[in-house]
Structure 1
Amino acid sequence: MGQQALKVVLVFSTDDQAWIRQSKTVVPQFWQGHPVPPAQGDVIRIGGRQFLIQGRVWENDGEMTTLRLFVGNAHAQSDTVFG
């Protein structure tokens, strides 16, 4: 039995999506090619801001397994606050 491909999708809040678009930040595919998926509580850094993985949802459509990661903003002290 071969290892099935895993697609990891980051799900951001509406405010964070707006920030990503406005700042033209590219969200890298952190886990592409990695055998170990991210865990709840992991922190990632994108465009100088930190995001906390708050929840995970596994989905399978029969062809591919998808892991949706719901991330919340975990501002670092040096981050700029908009609004």
Structure 2
Amino acid sequence: INSETAQLTTTLASLTSQATAGREEQAAAAKRVAELEIALTQATEMASTKQAEAAEAAKAEEAIAARIKASEDAYHALLAEVAAALGAAP
């Protein structure tokens, strides 16, 4: 009986050790999942910020292009006025 008790005690200790190790592995895995979730959230926020910045840059480029076009139109109108004035000059 002492031999069986010793064997059962050893088996119980082994199973307890395995269960503890399993819980530790599970806790480590849960911690890693939480870290990955945080990293994913940060990456998503960064991507959203970059998209917003790109949209703002595109708007700025469009505004600059519109100003360039308006300047070109004004320049051509001025050239037409000068040409008309020169043509009307005696």
TM-score by length of 1: 0.16
Q: Which has the higher contact order (CA 8 A, sep 6+)?
A: 1
Structure in which a larger fraction of residues adopt helix:
2
The structure number with the bigger radius of gyration is: 2
Structure in which a larger fraction of residues adopt strand:
1
TM-score by length of 2: 0.16
